[in-house]
């Protein structure tokens, strides 16, 4: 399988030629900008607010606690060189690549195999004719639609595309309008020229040059597996093989999957990688009756997951917290995971937009008390101090980097 992919050395040379490489950062390279201060101004907890304000002007250092979610997609096109470089400047310790594959089974960074129509310019290119489903304009109550997969095109074709902010205008009657759906709380300011898409090997070369750690997520394919003779295990192994080919130590890689079978495969076939593989948990969305405050609904249980060899679990933010007496407190899920000895990572901060109306999905277990953006830090403080998470994904990593520095986290 390894021979099917560009070598890490070739990827590094390619990146260097394009001026995309950046050396390992010193503290002086880390910038958090104005957003942390904007959020601190809205924090209502007086003790937390005072602690955060006291850190103003503190030299910011790189933190493993701060994990880039697809780079910095609050304002940059996700999974692009520009997004990863922005996250690097904001002090992340770990960069993420969501891994999927092209028609010729080459690994690339995209959040889903079937998201090219919302994350790239494919619909405005000649490759649109190769999409699984071409653009269909809105008509009456029927929304506009399209579906373009990485598996619809080859790697060479993929590399001709540019990234855009992940969005679509489902009321559109033209392709041009469909591609201009960016939420008003995001921006196209840094997307106008398009972002540079990356192969998984190029991501490895870039992040290695940045001196950071890696958290690749093996995405569930949209195509039926096996695909052209490639099984799910072949796919899972191919991802790990690219780190081995690049000389990246397993200790620098936190492989992720929502598919528990992938995690168990790595534990068995690649134990050095498997021991810090991250089980992404979305059972609140996929298992009927699942309740983050009722341990009896956790099947498998946290102890059973630990016994399988799982050491890291990563639920979404709302699974870890609830409200008691008007305050954010740990959920039964959080308590059970900690009691079982699981390391907890969570996702994703700064993905909800303004919180004046409760924050939507990522705040669903506490939205009855959430009414301003200061709750980003109030939630983060509970996650860190009361639950003891070891890291958190963010769409704007500077927010987390500031907190991690202020609280002297790793």
Three-state DSSP state, 344: strand
Query: Rounded to an integer, what distance in angstroms lies between the CA atom of residue 346 and that of residue 362?
Result: 11
Look at residue 58 and tell me if it is in a domain: yes
Q: Show the CA angle centred on residue 76, arms to residues 181 and 347, nearest 5°.
A: 95
Q: Which domain holds residue 63?
A: 2-110+198-406
Q: d(Cα 405, Cα 398) in Å, to the nearest integer?
A: 10
Can you say whether the dihedral through the CA atoms of 285, 291, 293, 299 is positive or negative?
negative
**Which residues share a beta bridge with 349?**
394
- 385 phi, psi to nearest 5 deg: -80, -45
Alpha-carbon distance 56 to 37, whole Å? 8
Is residue 44 exposed (0-12), middle (13-18) or buried (19+ Cβ within 10 Å)? exposed
Q: How many CA atoms lie within 13 A of 7 on its CB side?
A: 4
Task: Return the CATH number at 24.
Answer: 3.20.20.190
In a domain, 180, yes or no: no
Task: Read off φ and ψ for residue 96, nearest 5 degrees.
Answer: -110, 140
Q: Using CA atoms, how far apart are residues 248 and 241, in angstroms rounded to an integer?
A: 10
Per the domain annotation, does 181 fall within a domain? no
Residue 149 in domain: no
- Whether residue 206 is contained in a domain is answered as yes
Residue 79: closest CA among 182, 194, 175, 184: 194
Distance between CA 24 and CA 89 in Å, rounded?
11
Count how many domains the chain has.
1
Asked, for residue 308, whether it belongs to a domain, the answer is yes
- Residue 293 belongs to a domain: yes
**Measured in whole angstroms, how far is the alpha carbon of residue 346 from the centre of its chain?**
10
HEC string for 363-395? HCCCCCCCCCCCHHHHHHHHHHHHHCCCEEEEC
What is the pTM for the complete model shown? 0.94
Straight-line distance from the first to the last Cα atom of the chain, in angstroms, rounded to the nearest whole number: 36
DSSP character string of 248-272:
--GGGB--EES-HHHHHHHHHH-HH
User: pLDDT truncated to tens, each residue of the chain (410 aa)?
Assistant: 233 333 333 444 345 434 444 444 455 589 999 999 999 999 999 999 999 999 999 999 999 999 999 999 999 999 999 999 999 999 999 999 999 999 999 999 999 999 999 999 999 999 999 999 999 999 999 999 999 999 999 999 999 999 999 999 999 999 999 999 999 999 999 999 999 999 999 999 999 999 999 999 999 999 999 999 999 999 999 999 999 999 999 999 999 999 999 999 999 999 999 999 999 999 999 999 999 999 999 999 999 999 999 999 999 999 999 999 999 999 999 999 999 999 999 999 999 999 999 999 999 999 999 999 999 999 999 999 999 999 999 999 999 999 999 999 99
Instruction: Please state, in angstroms and rounded to a whole number, the distance separating the CA atoms of residues 212 and 94.
Output: 6
Which residues are paired to 281 by β-bridges?
315
Does some domain include residue 125?
no
Task: Tell me the residue length of the chain.
Answer: 410
């Amino acid at each position: 399988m390894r021979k099917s992919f560009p070598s890490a050395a070739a990827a590094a040379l390619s990146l260097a030629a394009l001026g995309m490489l950046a050396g390992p950062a010193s503290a002086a390279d880390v910038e958090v900008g104005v957003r942390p201060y904007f959020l601190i101004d809205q924090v209502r907890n007086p003790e937390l607010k005072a602690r955060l304000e006291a850190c103003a002007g503190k030299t910011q250092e790189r933190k493993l606690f701060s994990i880039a979610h697809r780079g910095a997609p609050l304002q940059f096109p996700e999974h692009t060189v520009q997004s990863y470089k922005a996250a690097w400047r904001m002090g992340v310790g770990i960069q993420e690549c969501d891994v999927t594959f092209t028609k010729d089974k080459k690994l690339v960074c995209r959040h889903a195999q079937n998201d090219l129509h919302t994350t790239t310019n494919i619909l405005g290119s000649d490759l649109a004719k190769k999409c699984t489903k071409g653009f269909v304009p809105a008509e009456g109550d029927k929304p506009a639609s399209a579906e373009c997969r990485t598996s619809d095109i080859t790697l060479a074709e993929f590399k001709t595309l540019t990234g855009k902010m992940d969005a679509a205008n489902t009321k559109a009657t033209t392709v041009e309008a469909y591609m201009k759906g960016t939420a008003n709380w995001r921006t196209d300011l840094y997307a106008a020229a398009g972002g540079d898409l990356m192969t998984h090997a190029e991501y490895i070369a870039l992040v290695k040059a940045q001196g950071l750690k890696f958290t690749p997520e093996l995405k569930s394919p949209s195509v039926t597996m096996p695909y052209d003779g490639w099984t799910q295990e072949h796919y899972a192994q191919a991802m790990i093989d690219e780190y081995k080919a690049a000389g990246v130590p397993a200790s620098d890689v936190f492989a992720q999957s929502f598919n528990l079978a992938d995690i168990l495969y790595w534990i068995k076939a690649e134990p050095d990688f498997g021991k810090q593989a991250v089980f992404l948990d979305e059972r609140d969305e996929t298992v009927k009756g699942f309740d983050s405050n009722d341990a009896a609904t956790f099947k498998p249980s946290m102890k059973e997951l630990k016994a399988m060899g799982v050491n890291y679990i990563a639920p979404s933010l709302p699974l870890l917290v609830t409200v008691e007496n008007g305050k954010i407190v740990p959920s039964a899920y959080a308590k059970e995971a900690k009691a079982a000895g699981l390391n907890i990572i969570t996702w994703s901060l700064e993905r909800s937009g303004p919180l004046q109306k409760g924050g939507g999905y990522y705040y669903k277990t506490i939205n009855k008390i959430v009414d301003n953006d200061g709750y980003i830090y109030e939630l983060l403080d509970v996650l860190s101090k009361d639950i003891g998470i070891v890291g958190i994904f963010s769409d704007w990593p500077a927010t987390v980097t500031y907190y991690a520095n202020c609280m002297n986290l790793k």
